[in-house]
Amino acid sequence: MYDKMKKPATMLALLSMVALTLSACGSGDKGNNAQPSASAPASAEASASGSAPAEETKAPEPGSIKLKFYAQYSGVEIPVYDAAKEAMKQIMPEVDAEFEVAAQDDEQKIKTYAAAGSLPDIFFASSGLIETLKKADNLYVMDDVVKELNIESLLNESSKPMLWNKDGHSYSVPNVGQWAGVFYYNKDLFAEHNVKVPTNYDELLEAVKAFSAKDITPLALFAKEKWPGVLMLDMAVVGSAEPGGLKRLDNGEGDFSEEVYLKGAQKISELVKAGLLSKNAFNTTADDAAAQFKSGKAAMLLNGAWSMAFQYENLGDKLDILYNPLIDADKADQVQWNMSGGGFNQGFAVSKNSKNVEAAAKYAALFSIEFAKQRVIQLADPNSILVEKVVPTNGLNPVQQKYADDSANFKSMTTFAWGYENAKYKTSIEDNTQKLFAGQKPEDYIKDMTKALENARK
């Protein structure tokens, strides 16, 4: 009997040990999540001492502080990140930053990191993410670092507000200037088909009808993504003399019962009925839209101004931009420099639970400035956030030059959809606006959004 029991009993005991070991691992993690580990203050002290006078303490070894950096380290921005990292090696040689490529996933991964208490030391944070992580007490307040390093003095006047959250604190240092949403258009196609380049909504409607009649897609909208539709609706609202656009609703001001929002939805509906989009618009990606625009199958393309270098590479001198062809003809003078897009507080933020939180904050703040500089040098951003005059390696193309000249006239900006701080509002407006573009009646759209906004504000 004893022998017969021995083997199963041993197996059970082993299984229990495995289960206990696994649960112990789990609770170990939980402990780390709940508060910084015991070694954190010591590490922070060590990093702080790195900036202390050399005679007091021994300088830390180069690369001795390892920082995990979650950022959009991909595509055209790779050389920008690399160059900024190289520059930082001169400023903070003790830090070795390792990039983790940010997922394009509605910030799910970074939020999961936050929920699990394993946020990277430094990460790119949009204004929406900042609000979420602020509530969960996951963000390091960078006020002291910003003041100590005198970051504000490095930023130009229009960029200084981006450093400060509405609660008066700084949670991230901006790394790129404000971009407006713009309509790119093919000058040759307009000339060839004798279509007037639209300067207001009525002319845009005429242009849409004209191109549609000629079997040319008037606008290459990559509507598989949801934000371009929201941007266009925002332009329609701003164009009817509401400079706050859809952003003011996100701020908790006004509601969809206001005439200007119905009017905006009616403009979109009318344009869609006139043949604004291709049948396949809702399955069109940004690359597809750019290819249509490049090949001359589409007359216009809606995107952020950050795409100027890429679009110019595709179209060359045939390319030009329009800021807002959805403005009301009778309000053109009043609203022509009220922009859609841009205008949010975002940049590189630091996890409050980082083991090297002070070094991470200092590194993030200085890296942001280096990054902004490198964006101008390498990508010819015409909207530098810096006081320092930085010259692009290859100069500005004519479209970028136009944007750079005009940007001095910009009176206000709203925000792109990902800059909305109320996640419920953001999701609802993205989904419902896509429905509007798919042919929903404007009145039904307003009804749905009224309900969605009430829910988002609860």
Partner 1 sequence: MTSKRSYNIALLVFTLPTLLFFTVIVVYPILQTFQKSFFDWDGLTPPTFIGFDNYVRLLDDSDFWVSLKNGLIFALVLVVYQIGLGTLLAIALSTKTLRGRKFFRTSYFVPVVLSGVVVSQLWIAIYNADGGLINSLFRLFGIQYEQAWLSGEHTSIWAIAFSGAWHHLGIQLVLIYTAIKSIPEQLYEAATIDGAPFWKMHWKITIPLLSETYKFCLVIAITGGLNAFQNMFVMTNGGPGNISYTLTFMMYKAAFRSGEYGYGSAAAAVLVLECLLFTILINKYIAREKISY
CB of 440 to partner 1, least distance (A): 7
CB of 358 to partner 1, least distance (A): 24
Q: Is 224 an interacting residue with respect to partner 1 (CB under 8 A)?
A: yes
Q: Is 375 an interacting residue with respect to partner 1 (CB under 8 A)?
A: no
Sheet holding 65-71, edge to edge: 95-101, 65-71, 122-125, 347-350, 172-173
Among residues 348, 345, 347, the alpha carbon closest in space to that of 121 is found at 348
Alpha carbon distance, N-terminus to C-terminus of the chain: 66
CB of 243 to partner 1, least distance (A): 27
CB of 424 to partner 1, least distance (A): 5
Give the Cα separation of 204 and 209 in Å (integer). 9
Tell which one of 176, 274, 281, 385 touches partner 1 (CB under 8 A): 281
Give the Cα separation of 124 and 102 in Å (integer). 8
Tell which one of 52, 156, 438, 443 touches partner 1 (CB under 8 A): 438
Site for partner 1 in 282-321 (CB under 8 A): 282-283
Return all residues near 6 (Cβ < 8 A) that are at least 6 apart.
Answer: none
Tell which one of 133, 189, 220, 309 touches partner 1 (CB under 8 A): 133
Q: Quote the crossing angle between the two packed helices 127-135 and 423-437, to the nearest 10°.
A: 150
Nearer residue to partner 1 within complex by CB, 226 or 355: 226
Q: Give the binding range for partner 1 (CB under 8 A) out of 108-116, 196-204, 264-272, 326-334.
A: 108-116
307 in Cβ contact with 321 (< 8 Å) = no
Give the Cα separation of 40 and 38 in Å (integer). 5
- Binding map of partner 1 across residues 152-191, x = CB under 8 A, - = no contact: ----------------------------------------
Nearer residue to partner 1 within complex by CB, 85 or 134: 134
- DSSP-based three-state secondary structure for 42: helix
Q: Is 2 an interacting residue with respect to partner 1 (CB under 8 A)?
A: no
- Binding map of partner 1 across residues 66-105, x = CB under 8 A, - = no contact: ---------------------------------------x
Q: Is 132 an interacting residue with respect to partner 1 (CB under 8 A)?
A: yes
Q: Return phi, psi of residue 383, to 5°.
A: -125, 55
Among residues 76, 103, 340, 347, the alpha carbon closest in space to that of 230 is found at 340
Among residues 433, 449, 455, 415, the alpha carbon closest in space to that of 128 is found at 415
HSE on the CB side for 324, CA within 13 Å?
35
Q: Is 42 an interacting residue with respect to partner 1 (CB under 8 A)?
A: no
Q: Is 351 an interacting residue with respect to partner 1 (CB under 8 A)?
A: no
CB of 275 to partner 1, least distance (A): 13
Q: Any idea of the CA torsion for 415, 419, 425, 431, to the nearest 10 degrees? A: 80
The continuous run of DSSP H or E covering 87 comes out as helix 78-91
Q: How many C-beta atoms surround the C-beta of residue 88 within 10 A?
A: 18
Q: Return phi, psi of residue 29, to 5°.
A: -60, -45
Q: Give the binding range for partner 1 (CB under 8 A) out of 63-71, 220-228, 263-271, 396-404.
A: 220-228
Nearer residue to partner 1 within complex by CB, 405 or 443: 443
Q: Is 13 an interacting residue with respect to partner 1 (CB under 8 A)?
A: no
Number of chain residues interacting with partner 1 (CB under 8 A): 41
162 in Cβ contact with 385 (< 8 Å) = yes
Nearer residue to partner 1 within complex by CB, 13 or 91: 13
Side chain identity at residue 113, one-letter code: Y
Nearer residue to partner 1 within complex by CB, 11 or 387: 11
Tell which one of 43, 47, 126, 138 touches partner 1 (CB under 8 A): 138
Can you tell me which residue has the tokens 């609802």? 428
How far does Cα 199 stand from its chain's mean position?
Answer: 28
Tell which one of 135, 150, 153, 194 touches partner 1 (CB under 8 A): 135
Q: Is 431 an interacting residue with respect to partner 1 (CB under 8 A)?
A: yes
Joined tokens for residue 2? 């004893």
Q: Is 4 an interacting residue with respect to partner 1 (CB under 8 A)?
A: yes
CB of 431 to partner 1, least distance (A): 5
Among residues 378, 282, 457, the alpha carbon closest in space to that of 81 is found at 378
Tell which one of 27, 108, 150, 393 touches partner 1 (CB under 8 A): 108
Residues binding partner 1 (CB under 8 A): 1, 4-5, 8, 11-12, 15, 19, 105-106, 108, 111, 114-115, 132-133, 135-136, 138, 223-224, 226, 278-283, 423-424, 426-427, 431-432, 434-435, 437-438, 440, 448, 455
